[in-house]
Chains A and B, each alone.
Chain A
Amino acid sequence: MLEKTIHEVSADLKAKKVSSAELTKAAMDYLEEVEPKVQAFITITRDEALKQAAEADKRLASGKDITPLTGVPVAIKDLLCTKGIRTTCASRMLENFKPPYNATVVERLYQAGAVSVGKTNMDEFAMGSSTETSFYKKTKNPWNLNCVPGGSSGGSAASVSADQAFASLGSDTGGSIRQPAALCGIVGLKPTYGRVSRYGLIAFASSLDQIGPFSKDVEDCAIMMNTIAGHDPNDSTSANLPVPDYVAEMKKSIRGLRIGIPKEFFPEGLNREVSVAVKDAIAKLQSLGAEIVEVSLPASPYGLAAYYVLAPCEASSNLARYDGVRYGLRETGENIVEMYSKTRAAGFGSEVKRRIMLGTYALSSGYYDAYYLKALKVRRLIKNDYDKAFEKVDVIATPTAPNPAFRFGEKTGDPLSMYLEDVFTVSINITGLPGLSIPCGMSKSELPIGLQLIGKAFDEATLLRTAYAYEQATPWHKQKPSLRED
């Protein structure tokens, strides 16, 4: 039962084949059974989940106001505020932080009747591509427990891949939904900037951050989007635009759809297995009626360099709030500056400190123009490239990550080698466009490979449609990890 999708289990709940209480108890038991292997959660909320399940059962019995998520267990990344439930951002800084309110996306899941099983592990303050910078634990890749799940939303990806939850929420600032989705063999969507409210998301880089879903298949992704997308007065950057019914849109044909292939995303030296799997996927889309068009995004190879100026600059400003005064850790000091400095030294891990210092440096007097302003101009050039490409095509297809899952410790010694994990994903955050990762193959060592589909602003519907057509014609989403070591 736990290996089912949301649309399958939701039908069972509606048909009274199973109650949400039974489903949730089974999900929690299994979650706890495999958790010593997967380590996907920072906080498990069994009691709250069982209470929510009882409420969902009342709603299911009444037959009124039932949504596809009513009674379905889901997981939430530990940087989304949950009222009264600690929200750590995987940092020592917020070890005991209990938010006084819910993030808008959490509120929407609750209103739909979803059951939250717990808060998932991540890179500290979402800074990382392997979930290894968490203060609490190292989440394992369910396909090979010796490998990382990707990051920063590694716990959200691993929990869905391992059937600990039917779906989950993550956040994506430079690839943090799409890359772990690719490495864990599931579907992950970063919506257009502004499509989903960021209210109650603990900020990393505010012009790049976006919340989105992880799911076992494309239909579940559409179901999650139908629940979380839409305008929110509490987030002044949330877009006041109509939201289509993604489940209905997804089922339309892709015949005649124009898919762009940017040569810059297939550089020499790209991992061969990734290159072959992605090219096969493109051929499959062509056989399904899509037209393949070559496009060029000449400034996009500079996206990573621009990102590693812009994101640390925004982070250095956002993370100034952790000063030991209103919430979080407090160390003692003789005066206030000493208290700040000792608190921040003790509360942040080394990757977070590195990025705060990088951002502070790039914004400091004398360097602002050379780094921050330059990066913002490059950001414009990158966006111009995409605008031009999207005059000719409806969707752009690329690899999600440059290689399948890597091993623990492989990239932690050299920060730059870890940053290169985001090379195919960052330009989508820089431009604010939507991007989806869908499983498209398996390496020889049985590690999943992801295809990235990039869409026009606010056109998640076409991404889901393309992904759904591909999924219907391929077996990848049906494969399950074995939670093995190598």
Chain B
Amino acid sequence: MALSEKDVQYVAKLARLEVTDQEVGKYTQQLANILDYVEQLNKLDTTNVEPLTHPLDVKNVFRPDVVKPSLTQREVLSNGPEVQSGHFKVPKIM
């Protein structure tokens, strides 16, 4: 599976990363090297092997639905780069 510069541009767009042409060239080479290394996984036969997503055998963990103290609105907004009238402010979406 050869990786092209077009793939890297597409992935950067999906990941919301602005990249320069120079970076695209560099990342294409480096990611291709890493993917080549990863190819060795195909040497292992994994037919009928269940994927393991998590080291612990935990399922959903529930707690009683009881209201407890939480952070104040002021604390939650305190790190916001742009805040107005108790809201996070963002540039236009549409």
Contacts and interface: CB of A to CB of B under 8 A. Distances in A.
Given A328-B81, A344-B18, A356-B15, 15 more contacts: A100-B75, A194-B55, A236-B58, A237-B56, A305-B37, A334-B91, A336-B91, A354-B27, A356-B17, A360-B15, A374-B46, A377-B46, A377-B50, A378-B46, A419-B34
Nearest to A431: B55
Contact of A354 (B31, B51, B93): B31
A370 B27 contact: no
Where chain B touches its partner, the secondary structure class is loop
A193 interface: yes
Given A415-B30, A415-B34, A383 B81 contact: no
Nearest to A327: B79
B94 to A, nearest CB: 9
Contact of A377 (B33, B37, B49, B79): B49
Contacts of A97: 79
Interface residues of A, number: 73
A360 B37 contact: no
Interface in A119-152: none
Contacts of A433: 55
Contacts, number: 164
Nearest to B19: A345
Interface-central residue, B31, B35, B52, by most chain A CB under 10 Å: B52
B6 to A, nearest CB: 12
B17 A193 contact: no
A361 B11 contact: yes
Contacts of A106: none
B67 interface: no
Contacts of A102: none
A370 B50 CA distance: 15
21 contacts: A100-B79, A236-B58, A239-B56, A302-B41, A320-B16, A327-B80, A328-B79, A328-B81, A337-B16, A340-B16, A345-B18, A345-B19, A350-B23, A353-B27, A354-B30, A356-B15, A361-B3, A361-B31, A371-B38, A377-B49, A381-B44
Interface in A344-392: 344-345, 348, 350, 353-354, 356-358, 360-361, 364, 367, 370-371, 373-381, 383
Contacts of B81: 324-325, 327-330
B15 A342 contact: no
A416 interface: yes
In this complex, the interface size class of chain B, counting residues with CB under 8 Å from chain A, is 35 or more
A69 interface: no
A87 B64 CA distance: 32
B92 A335 contact: yes
B85 interface: no
A367 B41 CA distance: 14
Nearest to A100: B75
A64 interface: no
Contacts of A374: 41-42, 46
Contacts of A360: 11, 14-15
Contacts of A340: 16
A432 B55 CA distance: 5
A333 B16 CA distance: 13
A220 interface: no
Contacts of B82: 330
A442 to B, nearest CB: 32
A100 B76 contact: yes
Contact of A194 (B52, B56, B78): B56
B17 A308 contact: no
Contacts of A367: 1
A373 B49 CA distance: 10
Interface in A301-342: 302, 305-306, 308-309, 316, 320, 323-330, 332-342
A407 to B, nearest CB: 21
Interface string B37-65: 11011111010011111111010010100
A100 B93 contact: no
Nearest to A375: B41
A242 interface: no
10 smallest beta-carbon distances between A and B, as pairs = A432-B55, A376-B51, A330-B81, A327-B79, A377-B46, A345-B18, A380-B52, A236-B61, A100-B75, A341-B18
